[in-house]
Amino acid sequence: MAKARFSRIGFILAAAGAAVGLGNIWKFPYITGMYGGGAFVSIYLITVVLIGFSLLAGEMLVGYKGGKDAVSSFEIVAPEGKKGWKYAGFMLFSGLIIMTFYSVVIGWIFHYIYLSLTNSLPTDINQAKETFDNLVQFSPVTATLWHFLATVFVAVVLLGGVKAGIEKANLILMPLLLVILVGLLGYAMSFDGFSKALHFMFAPDWSKINSEAIVRAVGHAFFTLSIGIGTMVTYAASMSHKQSVFKAAMWVTILDTLIALIAGVMIYSFIFEYGASAAQGPGLVFKTLPIVLTKMGTTGIVISIVFFLALAFAGLTSAISLTEPAVEYFMQRFHFSRVKSVVLNTSLYFIVGIGAILSYTKEYGKTFSIGDKPLFDALEFSTDSILLPLGGLAIAIFVGYVLKEQDREHIIKHQVNHTIYKIWLFSLKFVAPAAIIFMMLNNFGIIKI
C-alpha cells in the first residue's frame, strides 16, 4: 500500500497546527507581560527569524529525506560511519514528557469552556483565584476527568492516521481557530485598550531586558515552533516531494508568529480596556481575562466561550503533533499496529499526567514532587530547559555539520537562492548552537549577565 501523504496545504496546516498551540495563546501573552512587553517581543521576533526558522527547516529536511519515524530518519540520512546519530531521534520521547502536563492544561481549558457555558465564570479577582485554585489544588478528580477527555480526543485523531486523522483535524480546526482569533481581534479594535495594547506589544523599553528575559524569549521561540522533539521530522516524512521544505517552513513560521501576535494584541486590548495589569503570570488567561469578560455581560460570555474553544483547538492540534512521533516510532521500529501504538503512548502520558495533577494538590503535593519542585513543574522544566534545547542543538549540529553538503544542497539549495542558503547554513552552524549553549548555561545559573 502506498504511504498516505499530506496534501500541500494539509502539510502546512498540520505543521502550523503543531506550532500554534498553548504556547501562542496562553504562554506568549503572559511571558510578554512578565518581561515588560515590546522589548521582549522584539527579541522573540529576532530569534524566530534568525534561529527558529533555520532549525525548523533543518528538522523538516531530515524528515523529508528520511521519510520515516524520527529515529529511522536520522539513521537513514546520516552518512556511512555516523549512523549512531539515530539516537538523536530519541528526542521524540520529549514529546510524551511534554504531553504529561500539556494534556492537563488542555483539561483546564475544557473546564473553563464548561464554566463559560454554564455562566459560572468568576467576576472579581478573589473569585478568579478561588475558581482556579479550586480546580488545580482541590479537585484532582475533576482535573483528571478533563485530562482524560483531552487524551481521548488526541487518541481518536491519531487512530485515523496521517491523512484521515491528522490532516483532517487540522483542515477543520486551524481555519476555525484563525477565524475566531481574527474575529476577536476585530472586536477588540473598537476599544481604547487596542492602541494601548499595540503600544505595549511593539514599543520596546530596553531597560526591562535582562539575561533571563533573553533566555525565556529564545526558549519560547523553540517551543512555539515545535522544534527539538522530532515533530517536524515525523510530519515532513509524509510530505509530498513536490513541495518545497523551505517554503513550507516559511509559511509555518509566518502563521505561528502572526497568531501569537494576534492573540497577544487581542488579549491585551481586553486587559487594558478594563484597567487590569499586564504582569499576571500564568494566570493571565485563566484568572484575569475571565474577570474582564464577565464585566462585559452577555457579549463577554459569548466571547469567553469562543476564546476558550479557540484555545482548546490550538492545544489539541499541538497535542496530536507531540504524540505522533512516538506513535510512528513504535509502529515502524517495533511493528506495532497503529491502534496498539496509540493506546500505549497516550496511556503512558495520561498516567504520568495524573501524577502532575496530584503534584499541585494540597493533599498529595509532597508525595509527587522532585526535589523542591512539584512534578508538574519538574516535567515542564526538564523539557523547556534541557530536552528541547538539546534536541535543537542536535538538529543544528546534524544538519549543519554531519550531513553531506550534497544532501543539504539537494533539498534546500535548488529551492532558494545562494545567499539565503548561505545565511541559513551560517545560522545552523554558528548562531543556533551559540544561542542554545548560552541558554542552557543560563538556565543552570552557570552564567548570568
Under the rule (CB under 6 A), what is the footprint of ligand TRP?
Answer: 18-19, 21-24, 223-224, 226, 228-229, 231, 318, 321-322, 388
Output the smallest distance, CB 26 to ligand TRP, in A.
8
Our CB check for ligand TRP shows the closer of 19 and 143 to be 19
CB of 21 or CB of 38, closer to ligand TRP: 21
Looking at the Cβ atoms of 113 and 395, the one nearer to ligand TRP is 395
CA distance 216 to 31: 8
For residues 73-88, one letter each, b for 16 or more C-beta atoms within 10 angstroms of the residue's C-beta and e for the rest, the string is bbbebbeeeeeebbeb
The CB-of-19 to ligand TRP minimum distance in angstroms stands at 5
What are the backbone dihedrals phi and psi of residue 369, each rounded to the nearest 5 degrees, phi first? Answer: -135, 155
Cβ(123)–Cβ(297) below 8 Å:
no
State the nearest-atom distance from the C-beta of 322 to ligand TRP, in Å: 5
Burial 368-403 (b: 16+ CB within 10 A, else e): bbeeeebbbbbbbebbbbebbbbbbbbbbbbbbebb
Q: Shortest gap between Cβ of 59 and ligand TRP (angstroms)? A: 10
By three-state DSSP, how is residue 191 classified? coil
CB of 161 to ligand TRP, least distance (A): 18
Nearer to ligand TRP, 106 or 425 (CB): 106
The answer to whether 196 and 272 have CB atoms below 8 angstroms apart is: yes
Count of residues making up the chain: 449
- Cβ proximity to ligand TRP: between 56 and 357 the closer is 56
8 Å CB contact between 330 and 346: no
Q: How far is the CB of 23 from ligand TRP (least distance, A)?
A: 2
R_g over Cα of the chain: 21
- Residue 31 CB, shortest distance to ligand TRP, in Å, is 12
* Nearer to ligand TRP among residue 265 and residue 301 (C-beta): 265
Scan for cell 542543538, then name that residue: 393
**Is the Cβ of residue 180 or residue 388 nearer to ligand TRP in the bound state?**
388
Q: What is the DSSP string of 229-260?
A: SSHHHHHHTTS-TTS-HHHHHHHHHHHHHHHH
- DSSP state, 1? -
CA dist., res. 89 & res. 399, Å (int): 13
- Considering the complex, state which of residue 97 and residue 358 has its C-beta at the smaller distance from ligand TRP: 97
CB of 118 to ligand TRP, least distance (A): 27
Pick the closer one to ligand TRP by CB: 209 or 314.
Answer: 314
Whole-angstrom distance, CA of residue 281 vs CA of residue 328: 36
Which is nearest to 312 in space by CA: 127, 136, 187, 180?
A: 180
Q: How many Cβ atoms sit within 10 Å of the Cβ of residue 261?
A: 20
Tell the smallest beta-carbon distance from residue 279 to ligand TRP (Å): 21
